[in-house]
Amino acid sequence: MKLGVEGYAPALFRKIVSQGARYAFAETAHNLQELAGQEISAQHVMRLTERIGTEWAAQRDREVEAFKQDRLARTYTQAPASAVAVMLDGGRLQVREDPSGPGVQKPEWNEPKYGCFLTLDTKPTRDDPQPEPPARFLDRAGVPTLVRQVQRLRAASTTREEPRKAARPAKRRKRTLPSRILLRTVIASMAGVEVFGYYVAVEVYKRGLDLAPRKGCICDGQKSNWTVYERHLKAWGFIPILDFLHLLTYLYAAAQAASGTEKERWARYTQWLTWAWQGQREKVLVALNRACQRAGEPPAGASESDPHCVLETARTYVTNNCDKMDYPRYRKLGLPVSSAPVESTIKQFNKRVKGTEKFWRPKAAEAVLQVRAAQLSGDAREDRLWATPRPLRAARYKPLRPAA
């Protein structure tokens, strides 16, 4: 009958856990009472969600072991015929000491890691399909907002955000292109980069993404992302691609930090951005070197926002990632140049796990991330996981009296 020891019918049990991974536990308990007439405490929702998430995490770890021993089976029998993309990034959530007494003890920020695995409906082309940068990257009014948005995603969020201006009435934007994403699956974990690398490798292998004809790994400049790439994805032939939006923010900041009038600074930014978009990396690097030389050495004890430091940071960023900035080639291959899908995936996770009042025990956070990742994956993964037999659990530990 697939009844667990929890005292809930499987369908109701799934509803509870499913809601517990989407909303705060107290909110879930309230919603279940209000919408389904089911009386359950927030604490119990947490317990049940954590139990299922932990079971799924254990199953994932078994798959990693099987992968290491070359025994893991692929989920899909056919390799993707089009392009695929792996996008990795880190998020933020607050953790607390575990075990600890009541209340939040030793809170600190932690960086969970997220991976987004996409099959794309794109075709390779002989010529660059978009040789000129998109208009919104050259929109004088829009670029500062775009830069702020990207920087906000990267910010630690430990500080209170500045109050936003009242939003302009939303314009109905015409969607010109259909979505190119055929399938998205998602993984998330609190594990370190070493272990997370294996989770990425397992997901790629299970989905057969390593067999795709065109494949790219798109990340920002964070070192841990590229460590995963070097250890697991490079050997499979994934092409490393630096997220263009992050590069844009560095170029914009550097152009603003360099001397000159507002008009000159904007002209400098558009020039650097166009070079970067067209893959003329050497020109960008030479220009940044020149700007750094002109600015001179940063004064002792200069802050991060000091113009010298901003220029130096941009130069280091471009130097370190120069080999991942051949954007015309990536576009010809039909590969994305932006890691926006993983950023939006992180936003979906953040809605559940990040908040000023949310302090997770690492184990509970890991469990909730597993359930949420299954929900966000587009391959009916959640259904499959629920259909998988759960580990045997003893009904109770008190022995029965011997039969009469």
Partner 1 sequence: MAEQTPEYKAGRAKFLEEAGVAFDRMMKEDQEQMITFDQMEDRALEVGGQLQRWLVEQCLAKAARRKAAAPPACCPKCGKTLQFAPAPKERRIRGRTGEVAVERQEGYCPSCRKAFFPSGPRVEAGG
The amino acid at 343: E
User: Does 34 contact partner 1 by CB under 8 A?
Assistant: no
In contact, 228 and 253? CB cutoff 8 Å: no
User: Does 3 contact partner 1 by CB under 8 A?
Assistant: yes
The strand ranges marked E within 206-333 are 214-219, 239-242
Nearer to partner 1, 48 or 239 (CB): 48
Taking phi first (over 0 means left), then psi (-120 to 50 degrees means alpha), and beta for anything else, what does residue 83 get? beta
Site for partner 1 in 13-32 (CB under 8 A): 15
User: Does 35 contact partner 1 by CB under 8 A?
Assistant: no
Min separation Cβ 376 and partner 1, Å: 25
In the beta sheet, which residues pair with residue 214?
83
Both tokens of 120, joined, read: 């794309």
Min separation Cβ 1 and partner 1, Å: 6
Nearest to 136 by CA among 248, 246, 247: 248
What is the x/- site pattern for partner 1, positions 73-102, by CB under 8 A? ------------------------------
Nearer to partner 1, 6 or 97 (CB): 6
Q: From the list 102, 178, 301, 402, which residue makes contact with partner 1 (rule: CB under 8 A)?
A: 402
99-130 core/surface letters (b: 16 or more CB in 10 A; e: else): eeeeeeeeeeebbbbbbbbbbbebeeeeebee
Q: From the list 12, 73, 141, 384, which residue makes contact with partner 1 (rule: CB under 8 A)?
A: 12
In the beta sheet, which residues pair with residue 83?
120, 214
Min separation Cβ 384 and partner 1, Å: 14
User: Does 403 contact partner 1 by CB under 8 A?
Assistant: yes
The strand ranges marked E within 96-238 are 108-110, 113-120, 181-189, 214-219
Site for partner 1 in 36-75 (CB under 8 A): 36, 38
User: Does 9 contact partner 1 by CB under 8 A?
Assistant: yes
* Nearest-10 crossing angle of helices 25-36, 42-68: 110
User: Does 2 contact partner 1 by CB under 8 A?
Assistant: yes
What is the x/- site pattern for partner 1, positions 371-400, by CB under 8 A? ------------------xxxxxxxxxxxx
Separation CA 136–CA 192 (nearest Å): 36
Size of the site for partner 1 (CB under 8 A): 29
Nearest to 287 by CA among 269, 305, 303: 269
Nearest to 115 by CA among 55, 65, 184: 184
Q: From the list 4, 124, 298, 307, which residue makes contact with partner 1 (rule: CB under 8 A)?
A: 4
**Site residues (vs partner 1, CB under 8 A):** 1-5, 7-9, 11-12, 15, 36, 38, 389-404
